Amino acid sequence: MVNNADNNDGGGGSIVLAATPIGNMADASPRLMELLQTADVIAAEDTRRLHKLVKALGITLNARIISYHEHNEASRTEDLLETVRAGKTLLMVTDAGMPAVSDPGFRLVEAAAEAGLLVTAIPGPSAVLMALALSGLPTDRFCFEGFLPRKAGERSSRLKELGPERRTMVFFEAPHRLEAMLRALDNEFGGDRRAAVARELTKLHEQVLRGSLRELLNWAEEGDVRGEIAVVVAGAGEAEPERPEDHVAAVNELVAKGARLKEAVSTVAEDARISKRELYAAVLAAR
């Protein structure tokens, strides 16, 4: 069944996901400031960060504030939905950027959508989009991969899965793990793959470094990297097309083991997903 949130069958309340500044408080939108002052309830990833934001903006909160983070999402989601069913406006904020994007909020939106409750958002700062736009890499097709696994084996497995990815990839990483991450990217994707490291976006010491993965790894090895980090990596290039000539040896090997020429050609062509006719011609031409 298609769920139409515009119907808002659950009552007159709503959930508003609000993007908050990722560094520069001047990026707070007028809509964010208005909702902070008028919302009935504010669900915050970190209530201390919320009060710091409000103080910097010079506004006063009148809402009931509820702590809502990855460790209590499961237990508090239903209570928040009841608030919306009662006709209240629930504002959801995280420490920085848009809730539900590598931050708490997805579980709440999923449950609200299932319940037919109205969910909307206040757009605003996004480290993902800003890093992508500043990277100098293709932006027409991209994917967001968040944080890679911390354990080396799991991280390597994830990167092997991403090896054929043609879209530009955006990652987050902690500064103290950046060197290990770039080394893993270098190992799996090759040191020549283009990439960018964006740190402290919108802040006083904003920095975007562009180059090959090997160059960025050398930079990370030289200094004490600090700040919030986003890493943007170019997608894989076009794979070289399979040529019949490259598979002549495989055909000859099967023939040497007793297979008939046509059978050997058929087997190798099917495995390599190339034309049997072209492979057969290549074998004859090589003789």
- For 61-91, the pLDDT digits (tens) are 999 999 999 999 999 999 999 999 999 999 9
212: amino acid identity, one letter: S
Those residues whose C-beta lies under 8 Å from the C-beta of residue 91, and which sit 6 or more positions away, are 16, 18, 35, 36, 39, 41, 42, 43, 63
Do residues 23 and 112 share a domain?
yes
Do residues 152 and 213 share a domain?
yes
| Interatomic CA distance for residues 102 and 99, integer angstroms | 8
Among 4-8, 208-212, 241-245, the range with the most confident prediction by mean pLDDT is: 208-212
CATH number at residue 227: 3.30.950.10
Choose one of 125, 149, 170: the last residue of a domain: 125
pLDDT of residue 5: 54
Torsion angle of alpha carbons 96, 99, 103, 108, nearest 10°? 150
> Which of the two residues, 38 and 5, has the higher pLDDT score?
38
Q: Give mean pLDDT, residues 38-47.
A: 96
Query: H helices within 25-143, ranges in order?
Result: 30-38, 47-57, 73-85, 106-115, 127-134
| Interatomic CA distance for residues 100 and 121, integer angstroms | 11
Q: Is 238 inside any structural domain?
A: no
Q: What is the span of the domain harbouring residue 64?
A: 5-125
pLDDT of residue 145: 97
Do residues 198 and 168 share a domain?
yes
- Which residue do the tokens 């893993």 mark? 184
Residues facing residue 212 across a β-bridge: 194
CATH number at residue 66: 3.40.1010.10
- 3 state SS of 41: strand
Residue 142's nearest CA partner among 152, 150, 133 is: 133
Is 264 within 8 Å of 284 (Cβ atoms)? no
Q: Is 38 inside any structural domain?
A: yes
Do residues 184 and 145 share a domain?
yes
Task: Give strand ranges (E) for 102-178.
Answer: 118-122, 142-147, 168-173
